[in-house]
Amino acid sequence: MDLCTDIAGLRAALAKARLARPAVEIALVPTMGALHEGHLKLVDAVAGPSRFVVTSIFVNPTQFGPQEDFSRYPRTLEADLAQLKARGVHLVFAPGPEQMYPAGDKTRVRVHDLTDVLCGPFRPGHFEGVATVVSKFFAVVQPDVAIFGRKDYQQLAVIRRMAKDLLFPVEIQALATVREPDGLAKSSRNMYLAPDERARAAAIPAALAELDALIEQGRGRLRAAEARARFRASLSRVADSIDYAEVADPEDLRPLADDALVPPRVLLALACRIGKTRLIDNMVTSEDVRP
Ligand code: AMP
């Protein structure tokens, strides 16, 4: 496994990989490091005999707000490299910020509409930072395939749109959310949770499961307002605050109107705080496994 920390080295390693015969496809797995089984499952999902797997590890400063956890975000490079090597990754790209943002940079990528809802209003600039850095990774790696987790459902939607609009010839794959035995979605931020907070966090997937069951039983007769109220009520029993608990369209991510009937396939998405830690989770009913 090669490690590249600058763009020139990365380009040279990729040029060499592209000369391989039989030819290989380049697969990209973008991450911010502090790797867990969710990240490694992304690697497994794109690995294959004719695949050259590149994992990026970059804690992207432009996707963090001024009050967010950029400086304390966990950084565990040595352990990450060991795990990626064991999983058969070919190349790790772990650049410094000066590599990704040349001095004096003035360019940002903004995806409209999809970023106005759910996490958008609570994290101004976040998705612009994500779309910008992922565009840069696509430009430099030129992957045939890139994979993202459904854990970050809105991010996946934004990246799909961005790749289409900027004409990147990349196939975007998605992986189902990888969960702990009690249902909590695996996340690098789970490390922040104190034991009592971690115990409370199990109620998040339980709230999704409960609402999924309610929607199934409602058989198209449940109104969005009622679903939303139930969702909030079950979360508010454990969360210290709730940014949103939404019932939304899985494609455009728009919240359903209060009086709309909840269809069998709908996006349930939430962001809440347990202690100081902000956690997100989601599921698409009748598509994702109930957590
Ligand atoms: P991050 O390092 O948090 O930026 O995540 C890197 C990639 O891993 C993103 O595509 C995430 O959606 C994905 N990911 C993170 N956690 C999970 C999980 N529990 N299950 C599936 N994918 C995940």
Of ligand 1's listed atoms, the one at least distance from the Cα of 177 is: 20
Residue 35 CB–ligand 1 contact under 6 Å: no
Q: What is the pLDDT along the chain (291 residues), one digit of tens a residue?
A: 999 999 999 999 999 999 999 999 999 999 999 999 999 999 999 999 999 999 999 999 999 999 999 999 999 999 999 999 999 999 999 999 999 999 999 999 999 999 999 999 999 999 999 999 999 999 999 999 999 999 999 999 999 999 999 999 999 999 999 999 999 999 999 999 999 999 999 999 999 999 999 999 988 899 999 999 999 999 999 999 999 999 999 999 999 999 999 999 999 999 999 999 999 999 999 999 999
- pTM surpassing 0.85? yes
- Cα 146 to middle of ligand 1, angstroms: 13
- CB of 38 sitting under 6 A from ligand 1: yes
3-state secondary structure of 27: strand
Q: Does any ligand 1 atom lie closer than 6 A to the CB of residue 186?
A: yes
Residue among 218, 219, 187, 222 at smallest CA distance from 201: 187
Start-end of H helices in the chain: 7-18, 37-46, 77-86, 97-100, 126-141, 153-165, 195-201, 203-218, 224-236
Which residue shows structure tokens 């009050």? 67
